[in-house]
Amino acid sequence: MSRARVARRIATAAAFGGGGISLVGGAAAGLVLTEMRYARRRLSGGEEDAEPPVAEGLYGTAFADSRRAPWRLAMLGDSTAAGLGVRRAGQTPGALLASGLAAASERPVELHNVALSGARSADLERQVSLLLTDPGRAPVPDACVIMIGANDVTGRVPPARSVKHLADAVARLRTAGCQVIVGTCPDLGSVEPVGQPLRWIARRLCRQLAAAQTIAVVELGGRTVSLGTLLGPEFAANPRELFGPDRYHPSAEGYATAAMAILPTLCAALGAWPEEERAEARRRERLLPVADAAVRAAAEGGTEVSAARAAGRRVPWALLSRRRRRPLPEQDQDHAPVHVTHTATSG
């Protein structure tokens, strides 16, 4: 069975309740899980109990005189979205994206982060509820970035069930009016202590989940950016630079690599990307069936997939785009974000 058909079967099963389609045998998946847990215990040195820096607050204060209200950006997902593994708020992916969006749009950005270390896709329901129903976080974010999937793989969550939880979260956010960008499941085959053949099995699991995630998200009007093979070769080539002290979570340089890949898609979703770069992106787009685009993106890191449109209406095809990575703005990593008080009536 082709990879596109497998991804479509998972996404279809998710749409009908998230059945238990398995990508590899239970014994193989169990070996991957055991190896991952052993590696983390051996190398973490207590890092597993660490907390990510608090990065919520206002970024781009130099543009505070703008007549436009700040963008509201939210991060959801697991420890990668939270920024576990770095020591400074400015090194987390949320802070990097907020700073980059502020610089590109010349408009302040108010960052909310409800991601939870260790979270699986099932936790997205709670995270979305925090964003949409907590008066202290009103109003609704303009854009939400979700990074999820690794813990579903190591936790042996059936992929259709994992995709179902993600799809439900994306649907709620889209209904509320949010732009949604999903950084799909990372490549656990790049984790340094995991050896062959488990590394190959982990890579296969992650790519198939990433492709199924892409189908579900794009068909709900969201966008995805593939992180797996973007980070995989770079992490494999530079493990000391791109992995953090526990050699499992990204380092500051690793998070910057991921943020540079997501930032162009985030800006494009909000209409904040420079026109000349929009024209360049259009020249590099390909129109493909959604499942084919999803599989190709899973194999080509840094690739964006979004719904295609004809005469203003969505069609059952997808746009595969490779946007030029934009350098992140220089920032003082020791400078904390400006924290703001959120009220239900804030503008």
What amino acid positions are annotated as catalytic residues? 79, 246, 249
Exposed/middle/buried for residue 178 (C-beta within 10 Å: 0-12, 13-18, 19+):
buried
In the chain, where do the E strands start and end?
Answer: 57-59, 71-77, 109-113, 143-147, 179-183, 223-225, 286-289, 304-310, 313-321
User: Rounded to the nearest 5°, which phi and psi values hold at 236?
Assistant: -65, -35
Sign of CA dihedral 308, 4, 182, 192: negative
Q: Which residue has the tokens 């976080």?
A: 137
Sequence-ordered list of residues with C-beta below 8 angstroms from that of 18, at least 6 positions apart, any chain? 158, 160, 161, 162, 163, 164, 165
User: Rounded to the nearest 5°, which phi and psi values hold at 139?
Assistant: -80, -170
On whether the CB atoms of residues 158 and 207 are closer than 8 A, the answer is no
DSSP letter assigned to residue 89:
G
